[in-house]
Amino acid sequence: MGAAGSKLEKALGDQFPEGERYFGLENFGNTCYCNSVLQALYFCAPFREQLLEYYANSKNIGDAEENLLTCLADLFTQISSQKKKTGVIAPKRFVQRLKKQNELFRSYMHQDAHEFLNFLLNELVDILEKEAQAVKSETETSSPPEKTANGPKHAQANGVSKEPLVTWVHKNFQGILTNETRCLQCETVTARDETFFDLSLDIEQNSSITSCLKNFSSTETLNAEDKFFCDKCCSLQEAQKRMKIKKPPHILVIHLKRFKYIEQLGRYKKLSYRVVFPLELKLSNTVEDADIEYSLFAVVVHVGSGPNHGHYVSLVKSHNHWLFFDDENVEMIDESAVQTFFGSAQEYSSNTDHGYILFYESIGASNNKS
């Protein structure tokens, strides 16, 4: 990487961002799925800042038990505190911990980057929630006995514990979807909210993220065997159902469903469809109907023609420059090169590098309300 690193430094010259580090990650035998997602998360500025802050604070507490969160924080701290501006780092402890934690990632087989991202974010949330719970229990047990014995205080503490904890992972990635079902008999609308860390979108040939999002929120009629049980009518009725975004996340992660199970083949097939993803995205299928603007800052790309083999790389926007991360290698790319990862307009194409997970950050402070 020495030569490549110095090449990158030369390419950026005096435009090399102050205090920034561009490090490739060593591959430990098919761990590109992990490396590509870690690079996208490292260049998710609010997530990185809060993770480094968490690490700095937890170091003061003493020797915390090693877990996936401490390993990730340790890796990000290692990268950000390097004396050199470019180079290669081996995420050995993190990968070992990941394999120890989840047998799914133990084999040397080709893994799914989206599954890994999902597992990682949920695992981080679990760790943060357990830590908050432990701190809460400590403060409760260390309070004076007469206060603990006091009935109403205790009831209140129990009430509060039922409130879901909002961690900094939630504040960055969590959005809320609302599932609206309208009974066509009595017109009653039943709404059910659900949280999400990413949106998984079905894709079509020669489409765009905007059209995929429109399809995601399109109205579906429930009839025949799919009738809806309406509480007001107390019977099964025809209904209309649609999904809308009630609370858009600060960081919008979009997963393109490129791997589809084909019944006739009895296996999964990779869809190489051309799906245009813009550098600036307007999210319009929200409950408030207010357009929320997002800016693309990272893309995890799947390279290969099938679902069970291939490679992952990532494209990252950092300080208005686009960079290409391929395990140990890091190079600068032109912004116009991003469109070469949209997919193929023809079914059989020599281009097998397709955008798979997209990371967008909301523009403007209106979305930063926690």
Tell me: the pLDDT tens digits for 347-359? 777 789 999 999 9
Residue 54 lies in a domain: yes
Give the per-residue pLDDT at 186: 96
Q: Per the domain annotation, does 150 fall within a domain?
A: no
Residues of the chain above pLDDT 90, percent: 66
pTM (two decimals): 0.89
Average pLDDT, the chain: 87
Concerning whether 319 is annotated as a catalytic residue, the answer is no
Bridge-partner residues for 175, per DSSP? 196
Residue 139 lies in a domain: no
14 alpha carbon, distance to own chain's centre? 32
Radius of gyration of the CA atoms of the chain, in A? 23
The answer to whether residue 255 is catalytic is: no
Does residue 252 sit within a domain?
Answer: yes
Residue 300 pLDDT exceeds 90? yes
CA distances from 130 to 125, 135, 161, 169 (A): 9, 9, 12, 14
Q: Report pLDDT digits (tens) over 225-252.
A: 999 999 999 999 999 999 999 999 999 9
Q: Domain of 309: which CATH number? A: 3.90.70.10
CB 290 within 8 A of CB 90: no
Q: Indicate which residue of 302, 311, 321, 354 is catalytic.
A: 311
Domain encompassing residue 182 = 20-133+168-362
For the segment 26-44, the average pLDDT, to the nearest whole number, is 95
pLDDT at 87: 94
Confidence band of 160 (pLDDT split at 50, 70, 90): very low
Domain contains 73: yes
**Confidence class of residue 150 from pLDDT cuts 50, 70 and 90?**
very low
Out of 32, 183, 212, 230, the active site residue is 32
**pLDDT value at position 106?**
84
Q: Would 247 be classed as within a structural domain?
A: yes
pLDDT tens by residue, 304-337: 988 888 899 999 999 999 999 999 999 999 999 9
Higher pLDDT, 345 or 68: 68
Neighbouring-strand partners of residue 192: 179
Greater model confidence, 15 or 197? 197
**Four-residue CA torsion sign, 306, 312, 317, 322:** negative
Question: How many domains does the chain contain in total?
Answer: 1
| Domain-embedded: residue 13 | no
The answer to the question of residue 331 being in a domain is yes
CA distance 50 to 56: 10
Mean pLDDT over 16-22 rounds to 92
